[in-house]
Chain A
Amino acid sequence: MSSAELREHAPAAPIWDAKTPADPTFLKLKGVTKSYGGGFLAVDDLDINLPKGKLLGLLGPSGCGKTTTLRMIAGLQDITSGTISIEGDDISQRPPYRRDIGLVFQNYALFPHMTVAENVAFGLDMRGVSKSEARGRVEEALEMVRLPGYGARKPKEMSGGQQQRVALARALVIRPRILLLDEPLSNLDAKLRDDMRVEIREIQQRLEITTVFVTHDQVEALTMCDLVGVMHGGKLAQLGTPEDIYERPANLFVAEFVGRANVLGCEIEAVDRVRIGSSTYPCDTKGASSGKATAALRPHRIQLSPSRDRSLVSIATNSTHGKVVRVTYIGDVVQYDIDIGGSVLTTEVHTSSAGHSFRTGEKLLCEWKPEDMQIFKGGR
């Protein structure tokens, strides 16, 4: 049967059917630890529960342990202690080739001596799937990644984005229990990255395949994932929905790593206000009533207006006067750096065709809502 015929006969046949209700702990990592000689803990007592069909993004700077975590789930690295289980089935000690896990590598890792079809069929061959069934499933998988009819090509005859899609088809055609993606987009150029982001998410949701995605790019983590685990120093700094992570960062590391934030040293005066410099600002200190703290404030959550009398300003907002010290035109936004007496606030304003409104040296009033200022215990 030719590939064209196959396409006609099975236009949108799902290669997946997983309409089972979400299991809250489909993938479970319990106390997972990786230590190297000399007591260095690459991953330190990690607990993660991932429901079925969800996409978890592990986000963090290099060396935070996210890739090590992924490789331990895959079985390519031993775990020092703890357990990893899928649907209650402990796979911690199982060799990687018997885990039924799909893995897409950053550098695609296609077999250069095989055609695209042979690459995709490799996992089926390992599972003893008959040649004729394999041919159909390979073509289905290639269609799913929008590369129908590319089977006869060699990987090196394809672009980076196409190779990445072949790698995805190769990982998915074996119907793995979970899918792991190791920085799959970082070798692609910006435009292609945006397209692939949407495409991978779309396929993941259609197949409802439980997926762990490692990235250092916060945009990828926030836009693609159901859950984001921010990792820092081998530990989970925060695990939550993208909105949780961005709006309610659990600690200063998350606040600074995800999105941008002005970070200001402050003194807690009471549970509902802090002092920065000589001014006092209402805010939620999360129960703390004294001591040194750090305030984080997103640049675009600060409203700017020409300077006026502070007594006219709503008491529902925080405000301060400042002087523009730098104007940076970025395209979508203009960034104003504003000296508020001792420290500099970075602010962002969306641009419009009318041009940008403020100039260097201009005196402005900066206002923000108390809930937009996050307070973290401890100084910097």
Chain B
Amino acid sequence: MIGRMSLPFRMLVALLYIFLLAPILIVLPLSFSNDAYLTFPPQSWGLRWYAAMFRHQGLMEALWVSLGVAATVTILGLAAGVPAAFAIRRYEFTGRDFILNLFTAPLLLPSIVLGLAILLVFVQARLLGTYTGLVIAHLIVTTPYVIRIMLTAFSTLPPSVEEAATMLGAPPFTVFRRVTLPLMMPGFVASAALSFLLSFDEVVISLFITGPRMRTLPVEIFDYVESQTDPMTAAVSVVLVVATLLIIFLIERTLGLSKTVGKS
């Protein structure tokens, strides 16, 4: 917004914030309930459901699966997306636009369509309910974001800066390590964080391909809510919100720092 916001506009923004944050405002007190059932407001207070959450074997297993999948997806997504974005931005080749559109098409498809398509393919490939299957499915969702973010990052780096390093005697890999990589850091951090969160958060596609032996945390929570009505899900939600906020905060700090040195 340019200039100062008018009063009605500020009220609108406040309303929108309340709308967006309302679930959290209810979940937070709920998580500190000691009741056996979900009631609002809670009758008794305590940390009972936080303790129960950490003792729940299914949830804890799913948490580790989710963390592992998200980490793998982040690394593989960057490994695939960064060179792809670099090639698309820096080189002229036939079919460049086609490849760009192909790589970023999943951004436009509804998850439910993607999930169904992946399910059909994975049945054949025997990838349902496997770690590999989960990673591949999540990569389809996250890689387009990595490519998009890195395209923007590469376009802000003038080629002459790399050429200057070359002329000063740096072989191609040294140019990448000493010049390109440090200047791309904000883009890397943003892509990595987004990939991680997207994968960790993914429900729709995961629902299609997880099985009894291999569940992600969101799927486990989803199942739990369907069968139980105790406040443990509120405790889980609060933990997830806090963890996400922590990641975002860390990124904001590192990105903020990088930006102060990364812009010419």
Contact = CB atoms under 8 A, between A and B. Distances in A.
B is bound to A: yes
Interface of A: 74, 76, 95-103, 105-107, 109-113, 122-123, 126-127, 154-156, 167, 170-171, 174
Interface of B: 158, 160-161, 163-172, 174, 178-179, 182-183, 261-264
B170 A103 contact: no
B8 to A, nearest CB: 40
A123 B170 CA distance: 8
A112 B167 contact: no
Contacts of A96: 163, 166-167
Contacts of B168: 97, 122-123, 126, 170-171, 174
A156 B167 contact: no
A155 B264 contact: yes
Contact of B160 (A99, A105, A112, A126): A105
Nearest to A76: B163
A109 B167 CA distance: 11
27 contacts: A95-B171, A96-B166, A97-B168, A97-B171, A99-B167, A102-B167, A103-B164, A103-B167, A105-B160, A109-B161, A109-B163, A110-B161, A111-B161, A111-B179, A112-B262, A112-B264, A113-B183, A113-B261, A122-B165, A122-B170, A122-B178, A126-B170, A126-B174, A156-B263, A170-B168, A171-B168, A174-B169
Given A111-B161, A113-B182, A74 B167 contact: yes
A110 B262 CA distance: 12
A74 B164 CA distance: 10
Nearest to A96: B166
A102 B183 CA distance: 23
A99 B166 CA distance: 10
B264 A97 contact: no
Given A112-B183, A112-B261, A156-B263, A107 B169 contact: no
A276 B171 CA distance: 62
B262 A98 contact: no
Contact of A113 (B164, B166, B262): B262
A127 B169 contact: yes
A118 to B, nearest CB: 10
Nearest to B163: A76
Contact of B169 (A74, A123, A156, A167): A123
A107 B163 contact: no
B160 to A, nearest CB: 4
Contacts of B182: 113
Nearest to B160: A109
A101 B171 CA distance: 14
Contacts of A110: 161, 164, 264
Given A76-B167, A103-B167, A123-B169, 6 more contacts: A96-B167, A99-B167, A109-B160, A111-B161, A126-B169, A171-B168
A127 B182 CA distance: 21
Contacts of A167: 164
A123 B165 CA distance: 8
The 10 closest A-B pairs by CB, nearest first: A123-B168, A126-B169, A112-B264, A109-B160, A109-B164, A103-B167, A105-B160, A113-B182, A109-B161, A96-B166
A225 to B, nearest CB: 22
Given A109-B161, A111-B161, A76 B166 contact: yes
Contacts of A155: 264
A127 B170 CA distance: 9
Contacts of B174: 126
A180 to B, nearest CB: 8
Nearest to B172: A97
A325 to B, nearest CB: 48
A126 B174 CA distance: 9
A154 B167 contact: no
Identify which of B168, B171, B174 gathers the most chain A CB atoms within 10 Å of its CB. Answer: B168
Given A113-B182, A155-B264, A97 B169 contact: yes
Given A97-B171, A154-B261, A156-B263, A109 B166 contact: no
A87 B166 CA distance: 22
B169 A111 contact: no
A237 to B, nearest CB: 28
Contacts of A171: 167-168
B263 A112 contact: yes
A252 B161 CA distance: 39
A164 B152 CA distance: 27
B173 to A, nearest CB: 11
A99 B174 CA distance: 16
B187 to A, nearest CB: 13
A110 B263 CA distance: 11
A127 B166 CA distance: 12
Nearest to A163: B264
Contacts of A98: 169
Nearest to B171: A97
A112 B179 CA distance: 9
B196 to A, nearest CB: 25
A110 B171 CA distance: 18
A111 B164 contact: yes
